[in-house]
Structures are given as structure tokens and as C-alpha cells.
């Protein structure tokens, strides 16, 4: 049981490191460039911006859930 | 990191950490976590209107991740979630109208603060009593099955509510409820929505316990279904707030990167706790909300 916990914990820490690198890259390459465009949209087309906020947050959540699940499977420490 | 929509400078590590913490709480208890996110965003200088709207957007993302994980664990009743979402949205609009009425009367802050303190403390007191009594009953039975079951000391009242014959009666097979009046479900959702519109946030601290004690939904299913319901109602709230210019989606997206991990940890952790223990651990959350309101009332600082 303790060995299983150690393996799961190690897998989780590796996942966090890989995930952290992906998130930093995402901040710099996606959000940085998206910022100015979204700001313009929020000022000029409020209804389009409102619809896009829902799509972006749900879309990102689905992708992130997929990425974290994939990473855990890849590392081999299934936690469920 | 600069966020041009709200014209704010916030360190992304701070947002990711706050998102992670709220993700863990949300995944485990099925709450939105606005009582932490709102003050956390205010603490770094985000204007109040942006803190409320952005928090709602972040709640949508976190709930998607946690609800997906709970669905994989078989903890989501979609039929119940869809019915409740309708009632919540109507209730939230009613709560918002009530706020407008109180604003016109000029005593909105005092009334909302006092109501929220009474509600938060009542929920916590009741849940301490119920979950503690249930745990003691289970311990006296001394069987492994009893300690792991989702029995409630309040079960006799729940069964009486389920026996109310107010057509249309509906079945919730996923939750193990053979028949319950649609009006009872809508009333629970409406009250949750009303408090959401009146006190702000997702009002999961009211809805999750109501689903367990009034509708008789097992705790694990109440957590997962509440998260699914929050996706729909918080999306509606996000849209209306975005239309008013209160949402900085970039902040919400950054927070969501932390919440995605936290929500999965919270959701998976529910597997290791029996229903009464989850309910007992839930008790501090409304009390934190009450403490924040009391602090605001005494100092005049809205945190």
C-alpha cells in the first residue's frame, strides 16, 4: 500500500513538472498574443466577447482535463 | 503579468495557486469557491465588479474539469442537474431583483450581511449536528458496511419529503430515488439560485446540503451533480456579467490552469471518504463565509 502511494505521488510530481512547463509555454505563446485581441473585442463587440468567454473557458477546461489525464497515463501512475 | 481587459498587473503564480486551492475544494465539496476567489482577487487590487464576473468564469472552467472526473466515477445525475439548472437560473434572477429593491430602500449591505451570517452559521450548525450524530450511529452499529454507507440521521425527514405527492412525480434512477415531486426539486434549486443572486457566488454551500437532506441524494452524487449544475448556471452568470463588462477572461483562463489539477485531486479524494465524513469536513466552508462577512461588517473593508 505504501509502495503504491509512493509510486502515485512520484507520478503526480512528475506530472506537475511537465504540466507546469506546458502551462508556462501556454502563458507566453497563447495568452500573451490573445490578450490584445480579446481586449479589442471586449471594447468593440461585447456580445461576441461574452459568447467567446464561455467557449474559451469550457474549451480550455476540456483540453486541460485531457492533458492531465493523458500525462498521468503516460507516466503510469493512475490515481483512480 | 499584465491583463489589459481589467488593466491589472497580477503575478500568474498567484492566480494559479488560488485556482488550485479552489479547485481542490470544489472537486471535493462540489462548491464554486467564490468565498475565497472573490477576496483573493480583490486582495491584488482587481475592482469588485471584475472580481465577481471573473470568478464566475473561473468557476465554469473548474466545474467542467471536476464534473468530468466525477462523471467518470459515476457521481453525476444528469437528469437532476438539468432540472436544477433551470430553477437556479430563475432563482438567481429573483435574488438579483431583491438586491435591486434593497438598494433602492438604501439598506442593502446590512440586510445581505445579516441574512448571510444567519444562513452560513445555521448550515454549519445543522451539518455538525447531523453528520456527528450519523457517525455515532454508524459507530454503534460497528459494521464496515454501516461506516461506509451514506446513511443520514436526518433520513426520516428526507423520506417524508420524498413521500409528498405533488404531481408530476419523477424518478431519479442515477441517484436511487424512486419517486419525488418535480416541484420539490425546483423549490430546492430556486432557493439555491435565490441565495446565489442575493449573496453572490454559486451558493453551492446551500445547494449541496439541500440535495442531500431535502432530496435524499447520496453525498458523492450531490457533489458531482452540483458541479454539473454549476457549469450551466455559472455559464449563464458569466455571459450576463461579460455583457456588462465585468469579466476578464484572461485572468480566469490563468486561474483555471491551477484549478484543472486541483479539481481532479479533490474529485478523486471523495472516493476515500464516506458521505457523513465529507459532510462534516464541509462545515468550515460556510463558517469562513460568515467570518468574511462579519469582518466586512465590523471594519467596513470589503475583502
Tens of pLDDT along A39-77?
Answer: 899 899 999 999 999 999 999 999 988 888 887 777 665
Check: CB of residue B276 under 8 Å from CB of residue B152.
yes
Q: Does residue B92 or residue A51 have the better pLDDT?
A: A51
Instruction: Return the percentage of chain A with pLDDT > 90, whole number.
Output: 21
- H-helix or E-strand spanning residue A62: helix A46-75
Stretch B70-85: mean pLDDT, rounded?
A: 88
- H-helix or E-strand spanning residue A46: helix A46-75
What is the spatial distance between Cα B262 and Cα A21, in angstroms, rounded to a whole number?
Answer: 17
Q: Does residue B131 or residue B296 have the better pLDDT?
A: B131
Mutation target to probe the A interface, by most A beta carbons within 10 A, among B61, B74, B251 is B61
Dihedral angle sign, alpha carbons of residues A22, A26, A29, A30: positive
What is the spatial distance between Cα A73 and Cα A75, in angstroms, rounded to a whole number?
Answer: 5
From the number of C-beta atoms within 10 Å of its C-beta (0-12, 13-18, 19+), residue B211 rates as buried
Tens of pLDDT along B148-205?
Answer: 556 666 777 778 887 878 888 888 888 888 888 899 999 999 888 887 777 666 777 7
Contact residues on chain A for B54, CB-CB shorter than 8 A: none
pTM above 0.90, yes or no: no
* Alpha-carbon gap: A53 to the closest alpha carbon of chain B (Å): 6
Contact residues on chain B for A79, CB-CB shorter than 8 A: 268
* Alpha-carbon gap: A37 to the closest alpha carbon of chain B (Å): 10
Query: Model ipTM?
Result: 0.85
A19, A27, A80: residue with CB nearest B261: A19
Amino acid at each position: 500500500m505504501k509502495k503504491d502511494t509512493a509510486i502515485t505521488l512520484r507520478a503526480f510530481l512528475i506530472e506537475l513538472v511537465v504540466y507546469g512547463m506546458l502551462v508556462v509555454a501556454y502563458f507566453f505563446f497563447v495568452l500573451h498574443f490573445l490578450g490584445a485581441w480579446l481586449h479589442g473585442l471586449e471594447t468593440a463587440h461585447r456580445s461576441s466577447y461574452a459568447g467567446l468567454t464561455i467557449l474559451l473557458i469550457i474549451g480550455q477546461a476540456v483540453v486541460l482535463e485531457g492533458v492531465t489525464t493523458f500525462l498521468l497515463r503516460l507516466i503510469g501512475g493512475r490515481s483512480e | 503579468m499584465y491583463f489589459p481587459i481589467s488593466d491589472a498587473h497580477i503575478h500568474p503564480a498567484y492566480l494559479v495557486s488560488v485556482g488550485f486551492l479552489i479547485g481542490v475544494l470544489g472537486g471535493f465539496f462540489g462548491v464554486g469557491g467564490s468565498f475565497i476567489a472573490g477576496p483573493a482577487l480583490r486582495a491584488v487590487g482587481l475592482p469588485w465588479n471584475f472580481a465577481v464576473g471573473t470568478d464566475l468564469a473561473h468557476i465554469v472552467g473548474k466545474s467542467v474539469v471536476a464534473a468530468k472526473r466525477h462523471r467518470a466515477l459515476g457521481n453525476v445525475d444528469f437528469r437532476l442537474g438539468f432540472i436544477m439548472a433551470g430553477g437556479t437560473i430563475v432563482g438567481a434572477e429573483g435574488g438579483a431583483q431583491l438586491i435591486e429593491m434593497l438598494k433602492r430602500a438604501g439598506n442593502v449591505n446590512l440586510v445581505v450581511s445579516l441574512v448571510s451570517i444567519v444562513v452560513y452559521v445555521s448550515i454549519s450548525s445543522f451539518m455538525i449536528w447531523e453528520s456527528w450524530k450519523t457517525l455515532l450511529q454508524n459507530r454503534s452499529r460497528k459494521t464496515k458496511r454501516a461506516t461506509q454507507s451514506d446513511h443520514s440521521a436526518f433520513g426520516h425527514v428526507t423520506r417524508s419529503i420524498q413521500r409528498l405527492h405533488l404531481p408530476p412525480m419523477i424518478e431519479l434512477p442515477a441517484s436511487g430515488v424512486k419517486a419525488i415531486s418535480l416541484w420539490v426539486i425546483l423549490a430546492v434549486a430556486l432557493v439555491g439560485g435565490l441565495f446565489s443572486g442575493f449573496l453572490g457566488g454559486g451558493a453551492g454551500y446551500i445547494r449541496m446540503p439541500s440535495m442531500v437532506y431535502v432530496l435524499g441524494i447520496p453525498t458523492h452524487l450531490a457533489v458531482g451533480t452540483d458541479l454539473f449544475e454549476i457549469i450551466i448556471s455559472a455559464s449563464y452568470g458569466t455571459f450576463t456579467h461579460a455583457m456588462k463588462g465585468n469579466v476578464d477572461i484572461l485572468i480566469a483562463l490563468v486561474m483555471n490552469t491551477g484549478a484543472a489539477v486541483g479539481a481532479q485531486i479533490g474529485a478523486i479524494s471523495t472516493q476515500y471518504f464516506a458521505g457523513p465524513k465529507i459532510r462534516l469536513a464541509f462545515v468550515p466552508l460556510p463558517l469562513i463565509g460568515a467570518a468574511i462577512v462579519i469582518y466586512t461588517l465590523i471594519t467596513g473593508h470589503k475583502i
